[in-house]
Amino acid sequence: MRQPVTIKDVAQAAGCGVASVSRVLNGTGPSSAELRKRVRDAVDELGFEFSEIGRSLQSSTTRTIGCVVPSLANPVFADAVQGAQETFQAAGYQTLLVCTNYDTESEVQVIRTLLAKQVDGFVLTVSDAASSDGLKSVQVREIPHCLLFNAAPENERSWSVDDRAAALTVAQAFKDEGHKQVGFLALKFKSSDRARLRYQGFVEGCAQYGIKEPALLEIDDDSENLTTLLQAFLERNPTLTGIFVSNDFLALATIRSARVLGLNVPADLSIVGFDGIEVGTMVEPSLATIVTDPKMLGSGAAETVLSIINGNRPPKQPEPDLSFSFRAGGSLAPPAAERTDGEKGATFSPSNNPPKKNAKIQLERSK
């Protein structure tokens, strides 16, 4: 590695002072055409590029933003990060990304590290916004920041889905299909204020719609033995007809496990997810879920941070109750006992995009 070509080398090669080089290259301050040429020639010859770190030291600004999320394995966060990163980049900022793996310990530590790196701002999804030490460090230093996916505590901004309201909607959907007893399944329940809010809203909604208080299944390890856990859960709650799963990915895994257990989704067990990832529309039956727009949220949080940095008014975010929508899908249907069409047990009945057996193209291809 070699990169010892500094502004001084350019100045020497061009036969002028460093101040002149800086002025010419940055277009700040006057300079003669002749000097400009000499400087540019020297730059080309030496392949000079400014070092941002000298510049940062002087301007005490790094044009770098810290971005902290639990994981990229969940496409919700991947999309959000991408949205934030694009927005920042368009404004000339780079993004320093860290995943905490839902670990509170490392959450506070990485935030400290980013702080030491003198980032100009933060976009963060913390495990619990109300108690995060990492968030506190950011607050006391008064670094521009915005939460993402977290419920905003007092005096904080956050771009997020209204988890409680969304969960209410799910409860209503279960009610509309005639379910009387349902469950709630979440990963990392303890370390996520989002999962807690969803559960809370769901409990509330069930009460409101006359559904029995939902049974809670909380799993820690990464769905290694989801099938076993699900089986035990269903044996403990034999009259359950539906489960609200706190994210789509886990919901799909749950459907798979249900199948392994010989259950028909949705006839024996309805599943509703959360997030609205695209593959949910590609599977059979399609996944009923809460649709969100993570990329927009990430981008919005980024805009908010930029506005704080620039002293502008922060952008308006969508109304909380418009931050999500319910998407019907084949994985949610009336429980088998409730069915009126006698279809009980009809496994894999197509529930979206039903094949048109006689479609034009098939005829054409039949030879």
Partner DNA sequence: CCCCCCTATGGAAACGTTTCCATACTGATA
Partner DNA sequence: TATCAGTATGGAAACGTTTCCATAGGGGGG
Binding site for DNA (CB under 7 A): 4, 6-8, 15-20, 22-23, 25-26, 28-32, 34-35, 48-51, 53-55, 57-60
Q: Is the CB of 7 or the CB of 110 nearer to DNA? A: 7
**Quick one: what does residue 245 bind among DNA, a second copy, none, with the CB cut-off 5 to 8 Å set by partner type?**
none
Stretch that binds a second copy, among 16-24, 82-90, 128-136, 185-193 (CB under 8 A): 82-90
**Site for a second copy contains 255 (CB under 8 A):** yes
**46 scored as a contact of a second copy (CB under 8 A):** no
Q: Contact letters (x/-) for a second copy, 262-301, by CB under 8 A? A: xxx---x----------x-xxxx-----------------
From residue 53, alpha-carbon distances to 5, 32, 38, 64 in Å are 14, 28, 25, 11
Cβ neighbour number for residue 25 with a 10 Å cutoff: 18
Binding to a second copy by residue 311, rule CB under 8 A? Answer: no
Binding to a second copy (CB under 8 A): which residues in 213-232? 231
- For a second copy, the binding residue among 3, 28, 155, 340 (CB under 8 A) is 3
Question: What is the DSSP annotation of 121-188?
Answer: EEEE--S-TTT-HHHHHHHHTT--EEEESSPP-TT--EE---HHHHHHHHHHHHHHTT---EEEEEES
- What whole-number distance in Å separates Cα of residue 167 and Cα of residue 111? 31
Q: Is 230 helix (H, G, I), strand (E, B) or coil?
A: helix
The minimum distance between CB 279 and a second copy, in angstroms, equals 5
CA distances 230 to 227, 269, 285, 343, Å, are 5, 12, 19, 25
Considering the rule CB under 8 A, would residue 110 count as an interface residue with a second copy? yes
Nearest CA to 173 among 258, 165, 239, 189?
165
Cα 310 to Cα 121, 313, 314, 335, distances in angstroms: 11, 9, 10, 54
Kindly state the DSSP code that residue 18 receives in the 8-state scheme.
H
44 is a contact residue toward a second copy (CB under 8 A): no
> Which one of DNA, a second copy, none is in contact with 220 (Cβ closer than 5 to 8 A by kind)?
none
Distance from C-alpha of 76 to C-alpha of 293, rounded to nearest angstrom:
8
From 9-17, 33-41, 127-135, 246-254, give the range in contact with a second copy by CB under 8 A: 246-254
Segment interacting with a second copy, rule: CB under 8 A, options 68-76, 127-135, 165-173, 323-331: 68-76
Which of 46, 78, 152, 216 is in the footprint of a second copy by CB under 8 A? 78
Instruction: Answer yes or no whether residue 81 interacts with a second copy by CB under 8 A.
Output: yes
Q: Which of 70, 201 has the CB closer to a second copy?
A: 70
Q: Which residues in the 139-158 window bind a second copy by CB under 8 A?
A: 140-144
Nearer to a second copy, 65 or 290 (CB): 65
Distances (CA, A) of 181 to 178, 197, 228, 239: 9, 20, 21, 7
**Any contact of residue 89 with a second copy (CB under 8 A)?**
yes
Name the binder of 59 from DNA, a second copy, none, CB < 5-8 A by kind: DNA
Smallest distance, Å, CB 38 to DNA?
A: 9
Residues 14-43 contacting a second copy, CB under 8 A: none
The answer to whether the CB of 350 falls within 8 A of the CB of 284 is yes
CA distance 22 to 43: 12
Residue 12 binds to a second copy (criterion: CB under 8 A) = no
Residue 54 · residue 77 · CB < 8 Å: no
Output the smallest distance, CB 142 to a second copy, in A: 5
Which of a second copy, DNA, none lies near 25, with the C-beta cut-off 5 to 8 A by kind? DNA
Q: What are the φ and ψ backbone dihedral angles of 271, each rounded to 5 degrees?
A: -130, 135
Residues 5 and 46 sit within 8 Å (Cβ to Cβ): yes
